Amino acid sequence: MAQPSYVIDRMISAKSIAARIETLGREIETSFAGTEKLVVVGLLRGSFVFIADLVRELDLDVEVDFLEASSYGNSTQSSREVRILKDLRGQIGGRDVLVVEDIVDTGFTLHHVVGLLRSRQPRRLETIALLDKPSRREVDIRATWTGFEIPDEFVVGYGIDFAQRNRNLPYIGKVRFTEEEPAA
Ligand code: PRP
Ligand code: MN
Ligand code: MG
């Protein structure tokens, strides 16, 4: 693949993200108050930064687990086929579960994962997405909690990649192509 030519414009600062996660943390604590233990499930790879910051805001008994789901690969287009590349380590039957996603775009990934996890009969299952792009939705699903609603821009950073790059940016940026978009 040819090296993509693009620049990244700042969209949501690290400070705004941290402030929003603090608020979300309080809401989640209240909602799950009295839980024996909350199983927080990060969807790899995109949510690894978000889940790390989020669990450190939660004054609850927490177990962290991961599930790897991929639908984009190195493309900018959803394949609409969600592949489970790594399943949970733990059991979730009868337990309180919070699924952590970095972004809900078409909705295929979260919809697929929620369907899979519900079939294991957790006591309660809720979802949180740092970003939501409602204008792109193809499957009717909404996270219980959303950090920020964003317009239809290709975003990177804070865990989110463009062809596996830029996940390490501490802020959310939007990709602006400076030449032709490379073929997927
Ligand atoms: C991205 C993102 C979400 C999903 C959202 O994951 O992290 O999981 O796509 O898109 P959707 O709502 O259209 O399904 P990706 O498949 O790129 O895998 P990654 O998390 O490993 O980057
Ligand atoms: Mn993902
Ligand atoms: Mg990706």
Nearest ligand atom owner, CA of 102: 1
Of the candidates 53, 102, 105, 132, the residue annotated as catalytic is: 105
Nearest CA to ligand 1 atom 13: 106
Sequence letter at residue 172: I
| Residues 115, 41: Cα–Cα separation, whole Å | 14
Nearest ligand atom owner, CA of 82: 1
| Residues 57, 150: Cα–Cα separation, whole Å | 23
Task: Name residues contacting ligand 1 (CB within 6 A).
Answer: 43-46, 70-72, 78, 101-109, 161
Each domain of the chain, given as residue ranges in start order, spans 14-152
pLDDT at residue 72 in the model? 79
Q: Which atom of ligand 1 is found nearest the CA of 161?
A: 22
140 tagged catalytic: no
pLDDT at residue 73 in the model? 72
CATH code: domain 14-152 is: 3.40.50.2020
pLDDT at residue 75 in the model? 78
φ/ψ of residue 31, rounded to 5: -65, -35
pLDDT 10s digits, 38-88:
999 999 999 999 999 999 999 999 999 999 998 877 777 888 889 999 999
pLDDT at residue 182 in the model? 57
Percent of the chain with pLDDT strictly greater than 90:
88
Structure ipTM: 0.98
Is 114 strand, coil or helix?
helix
pLDDT at residue 78 in the model? 82
pLDDT at residue 1 in the model? 58
Cα dihedral 138/143/148/151 (nearest 10): 0
Smallest Cα–Cα separation from 117: which of 92, 141, 139?
92
User: How many A from CA of 46 to the centre of ligand 1?
Assistant: 7
Nearest CA to ligand 1 atom 18: 70
Which stretches in the chain have pLDDT values below 50?
Answer: none
| Residues 45, 123: Cα–Cα separation, whole Å | 26
C-alpha 144 chain-centroid distance: 12
Smallest Cα–Cα separation from 98: which of 57, 144, 48, 130?
144
